[in-house]
């Protein structure tokens, strides 16, 4: 398993971002819209280049890695999974094996069994042959989590994994992420819900205006003063791991 390390990363929307996501850690990245959160994920994926600094996987500079080599180590769960593709849940999950099979490689019986087991672990085996566009948003999101699981990656990146989900599916999604992290992977997730971050994340990074305001253990970073500065509104702790805007009714 590898640590994902940002060392002085700069881009058009980022300035000197430095922190490390180690195996067994679930990092929540929070900040207002336009803070650079999704940009940082794209830099980690290699979709966007850095103008300064570097991104490391273990001790390897990602800039020198091929797309396939990086895909073997980094899995991506998008904010809005595609709804109109004609793939079934099983076909989508099997795509997680693509970086390991090569250009002309086809999944074998063992890959299919692993894909079914991944769906089963998320309570979705009954939907294996159902098309993605026939599922709810929560079911699709869990299918993408199962695909990431089958990718055997060391690092998982999530862009707002709980967006547009009801409370039940938010919890199911975060529970699945937590289980994958307990298995030894490193995870970095963009979240907008401060309370979900406080309840589930082991660590947190606060971005504002492309700058890193704070990064470290969630209990140390997610404080009322830090969150008030981050979002520009008064926020107070209303209970253990619970925050609210001051004076909210």
In a domain, 80, yes or no: no
Per-residue pLDDT, averaged over 105-123, amounts to 89
Among 52-61, 96-105, 154-163, 168-177, where is mean pLDDT lowest? 96-105
In this structure, the answer to whether residues 171 and 65 fall within a common structural domain is: yes
Look at 105-119, 161-175, 179-193, 198-212 and tell me which has the smallest mean pLDDT.
161-175
- pLDDT bin (cut points 50, 70, 90) of residue 171 is confident
16: containing domain: 1-73+153-222
Same-domain check for residues 99 and 47: no
Asked whether residue 54 falls in the same domain as residue 161, the answer is: yes
Instruction: Find the CATH number of the domain harbouring 204.
Output: 3.40.50.300
36 and 127 part of one domain: no
pLDDT exceeds 60 at position 249: no
pLDDT tens, residue by residue, 63-103: 888 888 888 899 988 876 565 568 999 999 999 998 888 66
pLDDT of residue 81: 59
What's phi and psi for 17, nearest 5 deg? -85, 125
Within this chain, do residues 117 and 215 fall inside the same structural domain, yes or no?
no
- Is 126 part of any domain? yes
Instruction: Output the pLDDT for position 80.
Output: 65
Say whether pLDDT at 35 is over 90: yes
How many structural domains does the chain have? 2
Verify that 122 and 159 share a domain, yes or no: no
Q: Same domain, yes or no, for 60 and 12?
A: yes
Q: Summarize pLDDT for 48-59 with one digit per residue, the tens.
A: 999 999 999 999
In sequence order, what DSSP letters do the residues of the chain get, joined into one string?
Answer: ---EEEEEEEETTEEEEEEEE-TT-EEEEE-STTSSHHHHHHHHHTSS--SEEEEEETTEEGGGS-HHHHHTTEEEE-SS--SS---BHHHHHHGGGHHHH-SS----HHHHHHHHHHHHHTT-GGGTTSBGGGS-HHHHHHHHHHHHHHTT-SEEEEESTTTT--HHHHHHHHHHHHHHHHTT-EEEEE---HHHHHHH-SEEEEEETTEEEEEEEHHHH--HHHHHHHHTS-EEEEETTEEEETT--
In a domain, 116, yes or no: yes
171 and 141, same domain (yes or no) = no
| 215 domain-assigned | yes
Provide the pLDDT for residue 84: 53
* Phi, psi dihedrals of residue 71, rounded to the nearest 5°: -65, -25
pTM above threshold 0.85: yes
- Label residue 128 by pLDDT band (50, 70, 90): very high
């Amino acid at each position: 398993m590898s640590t994902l390390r940002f060392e002085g990363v700069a881009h058009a929307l980022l300035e000197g971002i430095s922190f490390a996501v180690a195996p067994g850690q679930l990092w929540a990245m929070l900040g207002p819209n336009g803070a650079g959160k999704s940009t940082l994920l794209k830099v980690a994926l290699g979709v966007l280049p850095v103008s300064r600094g570097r991104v490391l996987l273990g001790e390897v500079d990602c800039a020198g890695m091929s797309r396939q080599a990086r895909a073997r180590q980094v899995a991506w769960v998008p904010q809005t999974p595609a709804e109109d593709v004609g793939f079934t849940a099983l076909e989508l999950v099997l795509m997680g094996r693509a970086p390991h099979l090569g250009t002309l490689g086809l999944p074998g019986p063992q890959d299919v069994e692993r894909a079914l087991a991944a769906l089963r672990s998320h309570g979705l085996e009954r939907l294996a042959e159902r098309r993605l566009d026939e599922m709810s948003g929560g079911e699709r999101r869990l299918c993408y989590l199962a695909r990431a699981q089958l990718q055997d990656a060391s690092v998982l990146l999530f862009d707002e994994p709980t967006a547009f989900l009801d409370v039940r599916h938010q919890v199911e999604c975060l529970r699945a992420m937590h289980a994958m992290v307990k298995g030894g992977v490193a995870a970095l997730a963009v979240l907008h819900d401060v309370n979900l971050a406080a309840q589930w994340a082991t660590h947190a990074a606060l971005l504002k205006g492309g700058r890193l305001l704070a990064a470290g253990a969630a209990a140390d970073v997610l404080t009322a003063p830090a969150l008030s500065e981050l979002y520009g509104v008064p926020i107070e702790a209303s209970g253990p791991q619970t925050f609210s805007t001051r004076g909210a009714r």
